[in-house]
Amino acid sequence: MLSLLKDHLKVKKNYTFIRPIKTQANLFLTLLFLGSLSFGYAQFEKPKDSLWIKEGKVNVLLNQATFGEWLGGGTNNFNGIINLDYLVHRKHENWDWTTTLDASLGFAKTEASDFYKKTVDHLEINTVFIRLKTEPWGFSTSMNIKSQWIAGYAFSEGANGQEISTQTTAFLSPLYARAGVGVTYKKTRSFSFQVQPVTARLIYVGSRFTNDLMPGETYFGVEANKQSRWEFALSMSAQGQWPLLPNVILVNKINLISNYLEEFKNFDFDYTLGVDMKINNFMSAQFEIQLVYDDNALSKIQTRQVFGVSVGFSF
């Protein structure tokens, strides 16, 4: 998988970044520590304006293993993930507006490696504005921005056996921005479905990743010596959550997009399935799996899976 990623991105230069990764990881550990303490100071207040609904959730997932003279073998390791979800919703007469923030960042460190390595890095803002015509159907417009917080690296072994990091992404590089108009089905806050036949999508990347590309090569679909790629597309998306058992909620989210101007029948998709199992007011078990297909980045399905027990609070 690593070799395929390198071949596809075709980043010609290798950089050894030990200090920057450690600096980012130290900042992350500080945020992780503050996040794990802050749940004790949660405040629960009723909204002053009944037209507004505001919901937020922060949780921290930790895992650590240490071995000392352990004959069975093992490697000392630590990993942690911090998640932030926030929702703002307002409904007044026939107008419905929802904005969500989905952010997460995680690192893993093993004794065998000098590097802190990302396990998850996600930043997404989504807003949908609906004019309900005949409920539950309505005309809608939406905007979506998706990227990552910090630089990403691919790791390999150098000629002398030293582990080498090759930078493959950066903060807001790539950045996906999408805006469209269409229709929405929304009967309850638990489920919504949007079809937007008129959608513009921008893919933005840093110039450092495209300056050395050869003619015909691309970086996340962006050609050599360019920083952006525009698409005119059809997009569809759905979000829903349903209770499976008491204190167990299933969450589904999918986004599909197809470029009218290039291989229209080829849909890129981003699908996330999550199960949130509440233990008490501050602890929960979480399972999440994400499937991504974007042939501008990699012509294979990318997968990510997380399972663990987290500490957090809602606000």
pLDDT of the residue at 1: 40
- The residue type of 68 is G
**pLDDT tens digits, the chain, 315 residues: what are they?**
444 444 444 444 443 343 444 555 555 445 444 444 444 333 344 445 568 889 999 999 888 888 888 888 788 888 899 999 999 999 888 889 999 999 999 999 888 888 888 989 999 999 999 998 777 899 999 999 999 999 999 988 888 878 888 899 999 999 999 999 999 998 887 899 999 999 999 999 999 999 989 888 899 999 999 999 999 999 999 999 999 999 999 999 999 999 999 888 789 999 999 999 999 888 999 899 999 999 888 889 999 988 888 888 787
In this prediction the pTM is 0.79
State the pLDDT at residue 39.
Answer: 40
Listed in sequence order, the residues at least 6 apart from 19 whose beta carbon sits closer than 8 Å to its beta carbon are none
Q: Please say whether the dihedral angle defined by the alpha carbons of residues 60, 33, 315 and 193, taken in this order, is positive or negative.
A: negative
Q: Structural domain tally of the chain? A: 1
3-state class of 148 per DSSP? coil
pLDDT of residue 49: 54
Could you tell me the CATH number of the domain that includes residue 178?
2.40.230
Collapsed DSSP state (helix, strand, coil) of residue 173 = strand
* Phi, psi at 147, each rounded to 5°: -160, -155
CA distance linking residue 257 with residue 238, whole number of Å: 12
Q: Which domain holds residue 191?
A: 2-314
CB-based contact 56:35 (threshold 8 Å): no
Cis geometry, peptide bond prior to residue 246 (ω within 30 degrees of 0): no
Q: Tell me the residue type at 295.
A: D
Predicted local distance difference test score (pLDDT) of residue 27:
52
